[in-house]
């Protein structure tokens, strides 16, 4: 078990002992278990999966979308300083799809590097949100 | 003694004022609760970010980064945080007093001072003050602050620092301690300084971080965390200032309402005396008149 602290600017989101955490970092997705070596890394856009107990199935893991930040593993404690997070509850798939389309068209129209990067950032963000809402849909259909 | 009508008019006027101050007290009490919540909620993030930077700066590569470099100070940038609205007691004047102190000290040390003002009151004050380079002025955060609001300020501050146009950045703001206690402080934003409290944790956790894995690289981590820390510190300062402002406004308005109550009491007493005096005089006149008719 490892202590997980997910901290955002609006407060502590998660603070409990968990079995496994999957984290999207700039160097790829990593899984952190208890007794992990000290590590400092940069969070990329993606979804954090938290498995509270070993027995929890993949589909029942707690999922949170994160948009950048920093992670630190030290003394069997995983601290995630997230720039921004989003939970499943607030997502609406149709809206995200629309936003993704908009972002893609923005990217086509982008003339300079700055607006291109901005558009790419929006695309990445919406893609992550879409993934998360996709997870939600699948979980629901499995349960029913 | 003032006439009965005048006294009545004054009582009505003070009562109206009390109604307004009472309403403002209630409004700022509710705003204060939210502002406090914001300020307290973001504290863990700031603490962890500070701790992380403290630990990182002990790793030798980190010292090379510009954001950690201590250079001789020729130009200093002050970020001064006041409110957009008045009627908050001594809130703004306390901040500005501290601000003047720092400017005087800088003048004595031959340091040029640039200023970024946040809040309308700070902007007005700095604009009037001669000999300062008023860099830019921003409004104070609203009731529902979002971290994106400070992005432009951070952009300006870091780019100027990295271009070496400024050598040190300080924030002057009001630290929220409790609803009845707030303190004006000035905190160094860049370069990042580790205070003695942090040193303890740094030495304690120095060895594990020496062997830590850095992904992707120390430089990239410092780049991402360094800017983030500056951002979060400024953000925290603004939230603390917001909470202090509302608390001080609430206290000021509470005092105003109490004083209005006292004045109303005094005036009512005066009114009653005046009315009674008028009645006594009328009776005396009637009795006097009756006596005259009798004799």
pLDDT in tens, A16-71: 999 999 999 888 899 999 988 888 888 889 999 999 998 888 888 888 999 988 89
Domain count, chain A: 2
Instruction: Name the 3-class secondary structure at B199.
Output: helix
Do residues A46 and A75 both lie within one domain? yes
Residues A66 and A121 in one domain: no
Cβ–Cβ below 8 Å for B216 and A81: no
pLDDT of residue B199: 47
How much of chain A exceeds pLDDT 90, in percent? 22
- CA B187 – CA B39 distance, rounded (Å): 16
The pTM of the full predicted model, rounded to 2 decimals, is 0.80
Kindly tell me if the per-residue pLDDT of B105 is higher than 70: yes
Q: On the CB side of B260, how many CA atoms lie within 13 Å of its CA?
A: 19
Instruction: Give pLDDT, residue B189.
Output: 85
If one compares A60 and B62, the residue with the highest pLDDT of the two is A60
Residues A103 and A83 in one domain: no
Q: Print the domain residue range for A124.
A: 92-143
The answer to whether residues A78 and A107 belong to one domain is no
B24-40 tens-digit pLDDT: 999 999 999 999 998 88
pLDDT score of B203 = 46
Contact by Cβ (8 Å): A108, B263: no
Min distance B56 CA to chain A CA atoms (Å): 9
Q: Do B48 and A7 touch (CB under 8 A)?
A: yes
Q: How confident is the model at residue B1 (pLDDT cuts 50, 70, 90)?
A: low
> Do residues A79 and A122 both lie within one domain?
no
Query: Does residue A56 sit in the same domain as residue A111?
Result: no
Closest partner residue to A41 (CB to CB) among B44, B56, B215 is B215
- Compute CA distances B64 → B61, B194, B225, whole Å: 6, 16, 15
Facing B215 at nearest CB: one of A11, A25, A75: A25
Quick one: average pLDDT of B64-81? 81
Domains of chain B plus CATH, in order, are: 4-26+255-294 (1.10.287.80), 30-250 (3.40.1380.10)
């Amino acid at each position: 078990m490892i202590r997980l602290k997910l901290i955002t600017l609006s407060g502590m989101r998660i603070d409990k002992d968990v079995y496994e955490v999957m984290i999207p970092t700039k160097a790829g997705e990593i899984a952190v278990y208890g007794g992990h070596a000290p590590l400092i890394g940069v969070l990329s856009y993606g979804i954090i999966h938290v498995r509270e107990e070993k027995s929890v199935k993949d589909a029942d893991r707690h999922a949170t979308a994160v948009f950048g930040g920093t992670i630190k593993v030290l003394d069997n404690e995983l601290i995630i300083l997230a720039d921004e997070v989003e939970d499943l509850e607030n997502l609406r798939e149709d809206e995200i799809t629309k936003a993704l389309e908009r972002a893609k068209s923005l990217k086509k129209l982008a003339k300079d590097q700055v607006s291109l990067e901005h558009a790419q950032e929006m695309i990445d963000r919406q893609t992550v949100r879409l993934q998360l809402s996709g997870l939600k849909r699948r979980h629901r259909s499995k349960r029913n | 003694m003032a006439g009965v009508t005048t006294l009545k008019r004054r009582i009505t006027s003070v009562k109206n004022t009390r109604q307004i101050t009472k309403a403002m007290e209630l409004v700022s009490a509710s705003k204060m609760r939210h502002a406090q919540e914001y300020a307290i909620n973001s504290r863990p993030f700031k603490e962890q970010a500070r701790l992380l930077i403290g630990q990182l700066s002990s790793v030798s590569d980190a010292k090379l980064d510009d954001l950690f470099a201590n250079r001789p100070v020729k130009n200093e940038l002050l970020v001064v945080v006041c409110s957009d609205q008045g009627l908050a007691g001594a809130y703004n004047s306390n901040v500005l007093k501290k601000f003047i102190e720092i400017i005087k000290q800088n003048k004595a040390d031959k340091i040029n001072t640039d200023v970024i003002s946040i809040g309308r009151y700070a902007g007005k004050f700095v604009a009037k003050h001669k000999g300062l380079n008023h860099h830019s002025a921003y409004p104070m955060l609203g009731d529902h602050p979002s971290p994106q609001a400070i992005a432009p300020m951070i952009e300006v501050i870091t780019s100027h620092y990295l271009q070496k146009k400024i050598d040190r950045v300080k924030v002057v703001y009001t630290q929220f301690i409790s609803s009845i206690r707030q303190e004006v402080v000035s905190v160094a934003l860049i370069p990042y300084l580790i205070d003695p409290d942090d040193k303890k944790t740094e030495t304690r956790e120095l060895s594990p971080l020496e062997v830590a894995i850095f992904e992707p690289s120390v430089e990239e981590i410092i780049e991402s965390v360094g800017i983030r820390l500056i951002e979060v510190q400024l953000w925290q300062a603004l939230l603390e200032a917001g909470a202090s402002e509302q608390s001080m406004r609430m206290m000021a308005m509470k005092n105003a309402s109490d004083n209005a109550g006292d004045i109303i009491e005094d005036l009512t007493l005066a009114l009653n005396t005046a009315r009674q005096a008028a009645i006594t005089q009328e009776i005396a006149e009637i009795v006097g008149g009756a006596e005259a008719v009798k004799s």
